[in-house]
């Protein structure tokens, strides 16, 4: 394995494959300037982000005229791949979702056109709106199946809600009165120990879709959900609510221990996801990738807060500068999920956590920490399909504030630093990326993400079988490197976040 001492000094954002450097005691020093170079006659190469873009395809565009704007934006902004994605997972982008009802012919052309760009088209399921769902999703699924591509499903809507307002799901106070935890915004959370009777009706919401795909002879290959504010969650006022609830106190004798409370609630939460979501899908489609937003293996710590989460004083945490990292339960394995879904976003409050002079590194440091945590603790057979986003997610400047209390907007992560970050995710073993964005951000977000993902396909053998060489995140702005080792070669990218114009000076030594 590479270790910190192997790279004495590296600078300049460049990507290279280095051959023949793994021999005992081998040392290579190279000084490289911007542009393609040869290193020690071993044919390494460096590419810039804006090089080698293919010409826009010339094609008949009439068939596109009935497509919704968000789909056309993806087709216009993302260009066909120059390097095949092979058998690797496609890139997922939020605007390549829900094309509306299409004829089989148009669906086929659309799926094909997106596939040329390496992008997988996703269709949403709507429980209790089966005809609408089938009109939209089945032509796309038929096209994907015909072309030998993944059939991709968004199952978010059928997953809501376990806490449906039924009074039987409320906490109970000393006087026997039901009460709700209203600390999560407009959705009120109830008692985590009441949800068994909700499992069957929730599973029923998904059942008609599974049956219909089976009847049609269609596979289901990738199913994700964005299931967040529902079911047992330990954050915000949940711990206090459970302490007031006689049922919770009975169920959890160690309720005063937050970590025990957290693990218990996450176990309940994982079991719901397993029983309602992953198990029924995998029973019919054993090869399917099934997962949920923000559920991923980790080192026991969570370095980010979601938009609905607040800091609760008195809970155990690790403090770094002004960041407060929370403990995180090991919840992944018991969900039964077959892929993991980390979330790597520039949440606005993150900017104020660190005092680095280099503004980009305040974002990059946290985002790379989150991404590296997931990559380091993932199981090799569980793909990482990671949510990414560039625009600042404006959640305020302090955890728990709304944007209106947040004062000045945090400076935007630069495009350059974001694209560098994406390279480092791919070279730390993230299998593919899933862009989330708002409709007004579609064009810009796709324009930043797609070229990086497309350029990385040139190194398919490393993406397929390379082993990440490091998960190290420097705690000061400076040089970040990531690599995928394959045999005696390493595909490596280095980024100097302080001096991005510098030349490259590399020293490798291997033990």
Q: Footprint of Zn ion on this chain (CB under 5 A)? A: 171, 191, 245, 247-248
Distance CA 324, CA 353 (A): 8
Distance CA 2, CA 10 (A): 14
Rounded to 5°, the CA angle 309-305-452 comes to 140
Q: Give the CB-side neighbour count of residue 82, counting CA atoms within 13 A.
A: 16
Can you read off the two tokens belonging to residue 12? 């300049």
Residue 114 or 189 with smaller CB distance to Zn ion: 189
Residue 71 or 189 with smaller CB distance to Zn ion: 189
* Sign of the four-CA dihedral 414, 416, 418, 421: negative
* Min dist. Cβ of residue 423 to Zn ion (A): 46
Residues 104 and 139: beta-carbon distance below 8 Å: yes
* Min dist. Cβ of residue 380 to Zn ion (A): 39
* Min dist. Cβ of residue 322 to Zn ion (A): 34
Residue 296's nearest CA partner among 399, 371, 389 is 371
Residue 245 or 492 with smaller CB distance to Zn ion: 245
Residues 315 and 361: beta-carbon distance below 8 Å: no
* Min dist. Cβ of residue 244 to Zn ion (A): 8
Distance CA 454, CA 495 (A): 19
Residue 180 or 332 with smaller CB distance to Zn ion: 180
Beta carbons within 10 angstroms of residue 167's beta carbon:
9
Residue 118's nearest CA partner among 430, 424, 433, 358 is 433
* Min dist. Cβ of residue 191 to Zn ion (A): 3
Residue 272 or 454 with smaller CB distance to Zn ion: 272
* Min dist. Cβ of residue 239 to Zn ion (A): 11
Distance CA 40, CA 1 (A): 22
Residues 253 and 347: beta-carbon distance below 8 Å: no
Residue 245 or 455 with smaller CB distance to Zn ion: 245
* Min dist. Cβ of residue 196 to Zn ion (A): 14
Residue 193 or 497 with smaller CB distance to Zn ion: 193
Distance CA 63, CA 111 (A): 12
Task: Estimate the share of the chain in helix, then strand, then coil, as percent rounded to the nearest 5.
Answer: 35, 15, 45
Residues 497 and 358: beta-carbon distance below 8 Å: yes
* Min dist. Cβ of residue 241 to Zn ion (A): 7
* Min dist. Cβ of residue 246 to Zn ion (A): 8
Residue 142 or 171 with smaller CB distance to Zn ion: 171
Residue 121 or 245 with smaller CB distance to Zn ion: 245
Q: Give the CB-side neighbour count of residue 132, counting CA atoms within 13 A.
A: 9
């Amino acid at each position: 394995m590479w270790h910190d001492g192997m790279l004495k000094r590296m600078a300049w954002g460049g990507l290279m494959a280095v051959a023949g450097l793994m021999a005992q005691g081998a040392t290579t020093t190279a000084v490289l300037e911007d542009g393609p170079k040869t290193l020690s006659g071993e044919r390494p190469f460096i590419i810039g982000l804006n090089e080698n873009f293919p010409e826009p395809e010339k094609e008949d565009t009439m068939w596109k005229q009935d497509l919704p704007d968000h789909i056309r934006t993806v087709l216009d902004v993302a260009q066909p791949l120059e390097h095949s994605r092979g058998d690797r997972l496609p890139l997922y982008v939020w605007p390549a979702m829900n094309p509306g009802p299409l004829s089989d012919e148009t669906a086929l052309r659309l799926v094909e056109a997106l596939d040329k760009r390496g992008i997988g088209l996703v269709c949403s399921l709507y429980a209790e709106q089966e005809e609408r769902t089938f009109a939209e999703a089945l032509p796309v699924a038929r096209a994907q199946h015909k072309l030998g591509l993944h059939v991709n499903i968004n199952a978010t809507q059928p997953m809501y809600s376990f806490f449906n307002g039924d009074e039987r799901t409320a906490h109970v106070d000393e006087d026997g009165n039901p009460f709700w935890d209203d600390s999560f915004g407009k959705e009120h959370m109830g008692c985590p120990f009441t949800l068994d009777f909700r499992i069957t009706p929730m599973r029923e919401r998904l059942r008609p879709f599974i049956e219909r795909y089976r009847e049609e002879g269609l596979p289901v290959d990738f199913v994700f959900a964005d299931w967040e504010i529902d079911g047992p969650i330990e954050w915000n006022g949940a711990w206090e609510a459970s302490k007031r609830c006689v049922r919770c106190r009975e169920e959890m004798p160690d309720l005063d221990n937050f970590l025990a409370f957290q693990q218990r609630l996450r176990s309940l939460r994982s079991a719901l996801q397993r029983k309602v979501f992953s198990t029924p899908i995998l029973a019919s489609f054993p090869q399917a990738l099934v997962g949920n937003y923000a559920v991923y293996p980790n080192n026991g710590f969570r370095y980010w807060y979601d938009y609905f989460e607040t800091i609760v004083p008195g809970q155990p945490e690790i403090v770094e500068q002004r960041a407060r990292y929370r403990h995180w339960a090991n919840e992944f394995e018991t969900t039964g999920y077959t892929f993991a879904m980390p979330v790597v976003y520039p949440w606005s409050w993150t900017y104020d956590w660190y005092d680095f002079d280099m503004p980009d590194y305040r974002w990059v440091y946290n985002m790379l920490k989150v991404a590296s945590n997931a990559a380091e603790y993932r199981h090799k057979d569980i793909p990482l399909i990671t949510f990414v986003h560039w625009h600042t997610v404006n959640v305020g400047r302090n955890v728990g504030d709304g944007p209106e209390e947040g004062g000045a907007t945090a400076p935007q992560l630069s495009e350059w630093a974001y694209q560098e970050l994406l390279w480092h995710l791919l070279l730390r073993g993230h299998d593919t990326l899933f862009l989330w964005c708002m409709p007004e951000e579609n064009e810009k977000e796709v324009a930043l993400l797609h070229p990086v993902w497309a350029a990385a396909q040139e190194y398919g053998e490393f993406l397929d079988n390379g082993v990440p060489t490091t998960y190290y995140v420097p705690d000061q702005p400076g040089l970040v490197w990531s690599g995928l080792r394959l045999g005696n070669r390493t595909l490596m990218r280095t980024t100097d976040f302080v001096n991005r114009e510098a030349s490259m000076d590399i020293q490798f030594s291997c033990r």
